[in-house]
Structure 1
Amino acid sequence: MNASKILQQLMKQASGSRSSGNSSGNSGNGIDVKGVIDGLSRQLGGGSSSANQGSRQGGGSSGFDMKSLLGGGAMGLLVGSKRGRSMGGKALKYGAIAGVGMLAWKAWQSSQEGKNGADASSAAQHASEGERVEALSGEYQERRSLELLQAMIMAARADGHIDEQEQALITEQIDALGADQEMHRWVEQQLNAPLDAQALAREADSPQAAREMYLISVAVTDEQNPMERAWLDQLASALNLSPDMAAELERQAQQAG
């Protein structure tokens, strides 16, 4: 699979969407879901194969231009299409997605401040915590990318409102990012798999991975929605995150915007 490529593309989309969102008239109103889906309907008129071909060729007339889709293409669909509303009046936390590894690490560092002997055991602590996703490579980066994509998809499904049509649109967009056949099948499986916080948590390969999985879940949920709040609480417990750590990760996500 090429999960690391897909995650990097999504992080870039999140970074670009955050920048464009800060300068557009869309501030505070979340994602224009109708605009995303209407744009896809128009631009996918040639069928999925031509759309994918067009996107790989840079967006010819027979394909679609990823940059033209409000909300960041796959990012907008993955999070926005299921709602039909803004995220409780809040914009999607693009900054938290774009900087997930750094922010999760920052949350851990904040938790260590003021602890006795923290400086003396710093090197050992760092080694046991695991690397940030941005610092990984090869099979380790691929594994972490799968963990984060799985966490993102499950969080996006937490309110139960992704229907078959929206699943198909999300799959189209993931394919447009360059997903290979194995990755395509994996995404479809995740869109239909039972929501299981314990099973998801077992995929975490380090404490840092657990923090990243929780933070990226926070980034794609509306914590004011009871179902999504319940999912975050289940996930924090399954990942063995303390209430203080979960709260710090949520604070980092909110500050990143």
Structure 2
Amino acid sequence: MANFTDLLGSLMQAGMSDSRSTRITNAFGGSGSGGGLNDLLGSLGQMLGGGKAQTSGGGNLGSGGNLGGVIGSVLESLGSNKAVVGGLGALVGAVLGGGGSATRGAIGGGSLAMLASLAFAALKNAGQQPPPPAALMEDRTPQQNQRIEEDAMTIVKAMINAAKADGQIDDKEVVKITGKLNENGLTDEEREFFTAEINQPLDLQGLIASARHRPELAAQIYAASLLAIEVDTDAERQYLQALASGLQLPPQSVAYIESTLGVA
């Protein structure tokens, strides 16, 4: 059986778009008015009982920060959850330095933590009260772990779906991505899943249905889609508009996600 958290980690390492590293760096660095993950993770840490929500800059949710502040904030606010800290560090290493010796699972876990945090902040920015993300919790129930793995599968599907937005994915690009995935230790089951999804026609409605009544997953789907494409064609922009509309994301949440990732 495919491990979708691992597969997500492999996709983040491989990079489905050239802008992926820049956008993740923007999220951690706080470029743009949407803020970054610095104060965001501190705020989440307080909600989860991790400690006082502070950052190196002393700001509040959405005020921005930098990579050092993010890691420091996580250590302070979620100090007992070493898996989250390690996963975020692995993600940063993957996008900025090739990942080093970090495991796919750690990078995937960090990716889920980042996306869940960004979704939480985006919904809060629209006046909603989303539940604390399970991806940032240390003590999770088996049911929560199963839901997280299911969400990872949906996020992987969202990234692959977005890559088809301006037409069928170029064969050379498929070979390039698949080659990088194989270097990252893809299992046979994961390779079969990825290949099957790549060859499926674009399924916007199916993706939208997978997040019905779950705005926090909807926001993660939108954010992950932005990490998979350049957003430099009319077809991609129209796809994202249709995706946001179908997911019923508040305009404020869409703007927050785009600003945090540095998408013009």
Same topology, TM > 0.5: yes
Cα 1:190–1:105 change in 2 (3 A) is same
Aligned twin of 1:151: 158
Aligned twin of 2:3: 2
> 1:183-222 to 2 correspondence within 5 Å?
183-204=190-211, 206-222=214-230
1:236 deviates by 0.9
Are the aligned partners of 1:133 and 1:144 in contact in 2 as well (CA < 8 Å)?
A: no
Cα 1:68–1:132 change in 2 (3 A) is closer
Cα 1:162–1:97 change in 2 (3 A) is farther
C-alpha separation in 2, matches of 1:146 and 1:133? 14
Are the aligned partners of 2:166 and 2:235 in contact in 1 as well (CA < 8 Å)?
A: yes
1:170 deviates by 1.8
1:198 deviates by 1.0
1:104 deviates by 1.5
Root-mean-square deviation (CA, aligned residues, Å) is 3.9
> How many pairs does the alignment contain?
177
Deviates more, 1:214-223 or 1:204-213: 214-223
Q: Deviations over 1:119-165 (max 9, x none)?
A: xxxxxx434xx735454763222111111111111112212262223
1:8 deviates by 3.2
C-alpha separation in 2, matches of 1:13 and 1:143? 21
1:68 deviates by 11
Which contiguous aligned blocks of 4+ residues in structure 1 show a shift greater than 3 angstroms? 8-14, 16-19, 67-73, 95-98, 132-137
C-alpha separation in 1, matches of 2:113 and 2:240? 20
Aligned twin of 2:259: 251
> 1:127-138 to 2 correspondence within 5 Å?
127=131, 131=133, 133-135=135-137, 138=145
| Correspondence 1:226 to 2:216 | no
C-alpha separation in 2, matches of 1:254 and 1:68? 19
Q: Between Structure 1 and Structure 2, whose CA radius of gyration is higher?
A: 1
Residue of structure 1 aligned with 2:120, choices 78, 95, 105: 105
Are the aligned partners of 1:6 and 1:178 in contact in 2 as well (CA < 8 Å)?
A: no
Query: Which letter maps to 2:123?
Result: W
Are the aligned partners of 2:119 and 2:219 in contact in 1 as well (CA < 8 Å)?
A: yes
Identical-residue share of aligned pairs (%): 31
Q: Which runs of 5+ in 1 are unaligned?
A: 23-66, 74-94, 113-117, 119-124
